[in-house]
Every structure is written in C-alpha cells, then in structure tokens.
Amino acid sequence: MGKEIVKKVCELLKDVRNQKPLVHNITNYVTVNDCANILLAMGVSPIMADDIKESADITKISDALVINIGTLNERTIESMIASGKKANELNIPVVFDPVGSGASEFRNSTTKRILEEVRIDVLRGNMSEIKFISGLESTTKGVDASESDMKSGNEEGINVAKNLANKLNCIVAITGVTDIVSDGKRTVMLANGTKMLANVTGTGCMTSALIGGACGATNDYFIGAIAGIVSMGIAGEISFEKSGEIGLGSFRVGIIDAISNMNSDVIINMVKVQEI
C-alpha cells in the first residue's frame, strides 16, 4: 500500500475542512443538487453559476472549477469555455468530466473544443469516455461505460491513462470497478467502492465534484484526484453496509452521510491503493 500517498490524502482532506475552498461547478441539472450537498459534506463551499454573464466572474473568486457536460446545451458551452479560460489565467485548477463523450457528435465536438481551448488539470471519466478521448475504439451506453469497455483489463487502463496524461499534460482518472489515476509518471490503482454505486444517478458527477473540492486546497492535483475518488469509494462501502438492504434512496443519502463523517482513521482503515 502507498503509505505516503495515504498520508498525503489524509492531510489534504483535513486541509479541505480547514480552508473551506469555494468550488465553482458548471454541471448538469440531473445531479447538481447532489454535487452541491456532497461538497458541503466534504467541507467545501459549492457554487453553481452557468450563465455566461457571470460564470467567469464566479470562477475568478473560486479555488477550483469543475466542468461537467452531462446535460449538454449550447448556452452553457460558452460559459464553460469562458470560465475555463479565466481559471487558466489565474492558475485555478480545472476538473473536466466529459460525460457521454463518444455518444453523440455534439458531445464529441464539445469535448474536443474544451480540451483545445482550456488547459485541464484533472480529466475524470469512465473507461468508454477516456478511450474515446484517447482516439481508441470505444462504445458507450448513453452516459455510462459499455460492458465491453468496463471489461478492459487493468493493464490496458493503466496504459490508456498514462498515455493520455502525457498527451494532455494533466492528471487522468479512469473510474470503474478499479479506479486508475495517472499523471504520466506516477500511477495508482484504487479498489474501494461497491457495485451499487453504479445504480445511483450522479455518483460519477459527485466524484468529479469531490476531486474539485480536494484540488481547491492543494497544488498537487494527483493527490487531489486520488482524495476525491477514495472518498467516494469508501463512502459507498460504508453506505452499502448501513443502508444497502434498505434500498437505493437510503444508500444515496448514506453516501453523503459517510462523506460528512470522513476522517483519517476511516481512510487509513479502509483505503485500498496500489502504486504501479
């Protein structure tokens, strides 16, 4: 286990609660409430401003920006680009969640434009989305990864993450049964979580929000990405243990409860991380 990585994750999550970073989310209307609540549970101040008249101004006063194209529309694309450019200008970290990339030409062209016009610090997606962005053959199931892509081996995922991280000069995080995070040189596999997370709308979006929250309190976005993903995986395990048999509604609420109670002891006792 990467003891030094775990130590840094624990320290970062403490810093998040102490600093209470302001995180600007231009996200989708299906999951916006859950993203806001899970950030509050993390100790972060969330703000959701997607109108072009104010989006860049809000980013200017924020500690991190999260861009999510889940419910894509022409109006918010310009807000995403303007906010991303403002974040780049001020060295504010940008997390990009390319939801459904590969599913439609509109999503594909928007993803390409964002990656061309905005410097991304953390790119988080499922295997289908990341393979598509890498220029590899992939299939999607709407906004979810296809079964064939989900069956991609860890070795393939590691190579995809490393290569894309080097190509885009950013952190690449592939989330799935096993999560992979790479900056092109450092790579880890994370094995926390439960299959039930896939049955709740927005757990991927919430993970990206958590990454934004963590990156808003550090300059080490590699550790920030790991902290966000580990927090969601462990929260899913805790909620499943307490609420899994009750049903999906209780499980969803339990995730936010677990994030609100996340601490170093919980992480140290439960984290499953392997350095590559």
For the residues 229-245, what does the mean pLDDT come to? Answer: 95
| Binding-site residues for ATP | 124, 175
CATH fold group of domain 3-275 = UDP-N-acetylmuramoyl-L-alanine:D-glutamate ligase (3.40.1190)
- pLDDT, tens only, 108-139: 999 999 999 999 999 999 999 999 999 885 55
Residue with tokens 């990339």: 101
Total Cβ atoms within 10 A of residue 93? 29
Is 207's pLDDT higher than 50? yes
- pLDDT, tens only, 137-174: 555 544 444 344 444 558 999 999 999 999 999 999 99
DSSP-derived 3-state class of residue 242: helix
pLDDT of residue 147: 46
- pLDDT, tens only, 80-95: 999 999 999 999 999 9
pLDDT of residue 154: 86
pLDDT of residue 150: 44
pLDDT of residue 146: 39
Distances from the Cα of 161 to the Cα of 179, 217, 232, 261, angstroms: 10, 24, 20, 31
* Contact present, 69 and 103 (Cβ < 8 Å): no
For the residues 178-194, what does the mean pLDDT come to? Answer: 97
| Binding-site residues for substrate | 48, 202
Q: What is the DSSP letter of 97?
A: E
Is 56's pLDDT higher than 60? yes
Is 190's pLDDT higher than 70? yes
| Binding-site residues | 48, 124, 175, 202
Domain ranges of the chain: 3-275
* Contact present, 258 and 238 (Cβ < 8 Å): yes
> How many helices and strands (H and E) does the chain possess?
12, 11
Residue 94: beta bridge partners? 65
Total Cβ atoms within 10 A of residue 257? 17
pLDDT of residue 152: 53
pLDDT of residue 145: 43
